[in-house]
Amino acid sequence: MSKVIGYSRISSSVQELDVQKQLLLEYAQRHRMIIDEFIESETSSRLSPKERKINELINKLNSDDILLVAELSRLGRNMLETLNIINELTVKGIQIIFIRQPELSTNSQHGKLLMAIYSYFAESEREFISIRTKSGLATARAKGQLLGRPRGAKNSKGSPFDELKKDILKHLKLGIPLNSILKIINNQSEHNLSYSALRYYIEHDRELNGVK
């Protein structure tokens, strides 16, 4: 049986959290819904998805479930991250309703069209990041700068991801999915790295795992 989850987040006034919750309750009552669970976050948008309880939200929702949110901006720190979250939820078969922006809700044809347009621009931004990253590496090589760890340097793990850690961190902060990050770093390096290896590396690195 499908369930309904209400998500609300504020970064300053706790009173706004109550306003969002009341908004969700009123919508549910008008549409004869019962909200099974509320997930609330009183944290800044600058924090990681884990700290904003986004990961918890995604893990609790399953196919045919409904997510109620006051507005689009409550989900992500920026448009790119927000679209990645929406895409992850819709792929799982979850319906997202934005109460203050019903035209963006994924249960409407208008909303699906707008999201497709936004996703196009988000994908263009990812490509731009990839091109800019590869261009920076090419420039560094042309100037004779050493990329990665100097030959002979000791490293107990010896992971090929170490030299790419700064780029991985940057992409995670932008909210880019792991499979897209993998494509970017494989394009900019001579390695043919796997998804499972990237996931393992992030999960065992304190700084990267904090962002994820």
pTM of the model: 0.55
Q: Which single residue is written with the structure tokens 């009183």?
A: 42
CB 60 within 8 A of CB 39: yes
Q: From first to last of the 212 residues of the chain, give the pLDDT tens digit.
A: 789 999 998 765 556 788 899 999 999 999 999 999 999 887 655 566 666 788 889 999 999 999 999 998 888 777 777 888 888 888 889 999 999 988 889 887 777 776 666 665 656 555 655 665 666 655 555 555 544 444 444 444 467 788 888 888 888 887 888 888 888 887 766 667 888 888 888 888 888 888 75
Q: How far apart (Å, rounded) are the C-alpha atoms in residues 69 and 6?
A: 6
Strands (DSSP E) contained in 76-120 are: 95-98
pLDDT at res. 130: 61
Q: What is the dihedral of CA 161, 167, 168, 169, to 10 degrees?
A: 120
**Termini Cα distance of the chain:** 30
Q: How far apart (Å, rounded) are the C-alpha atoms in residues 202 and 190?
A: 20
Q: How far apart (Å, rounded) are the C-alpha atoms in residues 210 and 48?
A: 7
State the DSSP code for 18.
H
Q: How far apart (Å, rounded) are the C-alpha atoms in residues 101 and 103?
A: 5
pLDDT at res. 198: 86
pLDDT at res. 83: 81
Of 175, 80, 189, nearest to 136 by C-alpha is: 189
Q: How far apart (Å, rounded) are the C-alpha atoms in residues 83 and 86?
A: 5
Listed in sequence order, the residues at least 6 apart from 19 whose beta carbon sits closer than 8 Å to its beta carbon are none
Listed in sequence order, the residues at least 6 apart from 188 whose beta carbon sits closer than 8 Å to its beta carbon are 130, 133, 134, 137, 164, 167
As a CATH number, domain 4-102 is 3.40.50.1390
* Residue extents of the structural domains in the chain: 4-102, 116-211
